[in-house]
Structure 1
């Protein structure tokens, strides 16, 4: 099977994250990207971090062809704040040093902040206090990446409405990208027992989808992994439209095939 590599974009303009979205003073966006068992969205998180800071995208490139730009960690397009409920900083550290060209001590840089909440037990009304403080203190536009936040409310006594209210407040301060699981055994609209993991994750995803401008679904091949294809990426419009300075933006609805090779490089192809 042979495919021609394509540039990956979320918007009709051909961009991953447009400058107009970053610069908007009145509008804050929310994008949701989901993965399942057999796939991982961590490479897409790396893509977002690179694009938000440098304006470049390492997809269909390798480490030796890293594209430089006029932006840097000291002068980024957007400050990036990552809140992970799944991974510690060591998980991303090696990848980001390799693909983003940042120093291994980057986590001390205010323009690329990392909060490890993988073992967090604080009540939900206090959970995001340091994150909110970081967003409020920033002189630069901010983008927040939430890495699998469902792992908090699935293991703690917290209602989905309480958790969503925190996300809504954070979204009023910054653009938000949320990665979350969407395995078939976690999603069932007919589940009536509100105490089950399936009911809680279904409720969370439903409410998250209904406040998103775009949805990205990463899935394995239905026929299993091929040597030259790892899975599919589907980009869809969300339920909420773009407004104010971002009103002319349009989600690029598209389906791609993607390959993550042994070295961790990602290539994307039109399906």
Structure 2
């Protein structure tokens, strides 16, 4: 979303105060000529923790936020099309289009909601299910079972964990991983830009390349029942037990 005029200068103006909930945007921007106010309710719910924004010298504020509602959005806000708003999304819906159709089309079919997709991926043949001990990373039994997995099986397991998370969980996990990589010097400019540039890196991972691999189905089911903090801690432990080649594959999945 681009808010405000594209001409003029913000020299001498303060930074805007942007407040976002899952249903509304409230913006106040102190100007030399007075305060600019903008308050609107989103057409449907959004993920407030996904919001990123920047203000440029042309009095334009660019806001990126991820939709939580799975259906089409005719406009970003309940008030309809607004002259100062320029939406920029992957699939624009004109007036009169069917609002009941799903959006987020991707090559080869429609992208499913994250948890639904994770459940589908676990609906697999018995011969591809690994027998594993309970998912308790504090036990030697779990550590031995993790090390006993082949590298493709570990990568598949991590991908299934990722796909089983809600959006907020993926965001927390991605931020935690970026923190680890920054400390270790493992973040280059491309990865940093990718992390700051939007929500595409938080989408479900394609696991079709691991179609023939066995996977610890019970672990993924347990993972789905964990709290967000527990999920992030588990992914951190799994990352720690991966080798350098696997670390590279994990980082590459964000690019």
Common topology (TM > 0.5): no
If you compute each CA radius of gyration, which structure gives the higher value, 1 or 2? 2
TM-score band, normalised by shorter chain: under 0.3
Report the TM-score, using the length of structure 1 for normalisation: 0.24
Using CA pairs below 8 Å that are at least 6 residues apart, which structure has the higher relative contact order? Answer: 1
The structure in which a higher percent of residues are helix is 2
Report the TM-score, using the length of structure 2 for normalisation: 0.25
